[in-house]
Amino acid sequence: MPLIIMCGYPCSGKSKCAEELRHYFTQHTDRKVHVIDDDILGIEKNLVYADSQNEKNLRGALKAEVERKVTKDDIVILDSLNYIKGYRYELFCIIKHTQTPHCLVYCLTSAEVSSGWNRSRESGAQYTQEILDALVLRFEAPDSRNRWDSPLFSIQKEDLLPFEAISDAILKRKAPPPNQSTQSQPLTSTNFLYELDKVTQDVLMAILDSQKTSIPGDLIAIPGATEKIELTRNLNMAELRKLRRQFISYTKMHPTENIGHISNMFVQYLNKSMH
């Protein structure tokens, strides 16, 4: 039925909590419980997180498995770092499309505690200190004010998991309603891909042009869109192109019936991904 997203530093107790949640829901419900973790590619984690392409492949494989497993009947627990804000938003889009609830369990530790727990592991299961430090540095902490990070359960090392509260969040709460950017529609326009490419490129150029005379905090008007870009910081072309590729990939799988909505959809996506 719902998705439980684990989040935290390496060696912060995520897998232990995921196993405790799997056991709880197996014992207290009649639903199937699927745990998806970093072992999905069968690659040693230091090799994965030392190479940006390997890490990107891992995130893609995890997301694809979530899409396959998430239904309105089964419980899915995603046991990974999930430390990138934009990636958590992509997972949120999946559950909106599936129309099932989700929650985030954040295993909150200090870098020192995680390093200590890492050193206590068997040598073959340890992160190198260099990899661990880099992941801690890149970590984007969840914020319950963001819809994709809420409901948020922050768990410290001495805490017991709030099983009943988590259960209520995913079994009794209504699923978020689908919106234009997540609801799958039939592909009815033969020039949809052309318009998708053209509109998103026009949005990027409008942002780059506006940044020449704007400062962080300004709202940027986008031709063809009723919503505006919230310019929290300057964005370079490489970052904008990456966000555009991600949006195009997702929209190809979930095309909108109304081409006129593409601009607003892309603006919504950018506002949520670049904060």
Q: Do 30 and 137 belong together in one domain?
A: yes
Residue span of the structural domain in which 8 resides: 3-182
0.85 surpassed by pTM: no
Q: Which residues pair with 91 in a beta bridge?
A: none
Q: Do 54 and 25 belong together in one domain?
A: yes
What value does the mean pLDDT of the chain take?
87
Q: Tell me the C-alpha distance between 66 and 68, whole Å.
A: 5
Q: Tell me the C-alpha distance between 242 and 244, whole Å.
A: 5
Q: What is the pLDDT of residue 105?
A: 97
* Percent of the chain scoring above 70 in pLDDT: 93
Q: Do 208 and 147 belong together in one domain?
A: no
Q: What is the pLDDT of residue 275?
A: 60
Q: What is the pLDDT of residue 188?
A: 43
Amino acid present at 163: F
> Exposed/middle/buried for 199, CB within 10 Å: 0-12, 13-18, 19+?
buried
Highest mean pLDDT among 111-115, 156-160, 216-220: 111-115
Q: Do 233 and 173 belong together in one domain?
A: no
Q: Tell me the C-alpha distance between 272 and 275, whole Å.
A: 6
Range in 27-31, 91-95, 130-134, 195-199 with the lowest mean pLDDT? 195-199
Q: Do 89 and 220 belong together in one domain?
A: no
For the chain, the domain total comes to: 2
For the record, the structure tokens of 181 come out as 């950017």
Per-residue pLDDT tens digits for 61-115: 999 999 889 877 889 999 999 999 999 999 998 888 888 899 999 999 999 999 9
Q: Do 160 and 95 belong together in one domain?
A: yes
Q: Do 177 and 246 belong together in one domain?
A: no
pLDDT band for position 240 (cuts 50, 70, 90): confident
Q: Do 211 and 173 belong together in one domain?
A: no
Q: Do 167 and 235 belong together in one domain?
A: no
Q: What is the pLDDT of residue 209?
A: 87
CATH of the domain at 138: 3.40.50.300
Higher pLDDT, 193 or 9: 9
Q: What is the pLDDT of residue 4?
A: 97
Among 144, 161, 182, give the residue marking a domain's end.
182
Range in 14-18, 120-124, 150-154, 270-274 with the lowest mean pLDDT? 270-274
* Percent of the chain scoring above 90 in pLDDT: 48
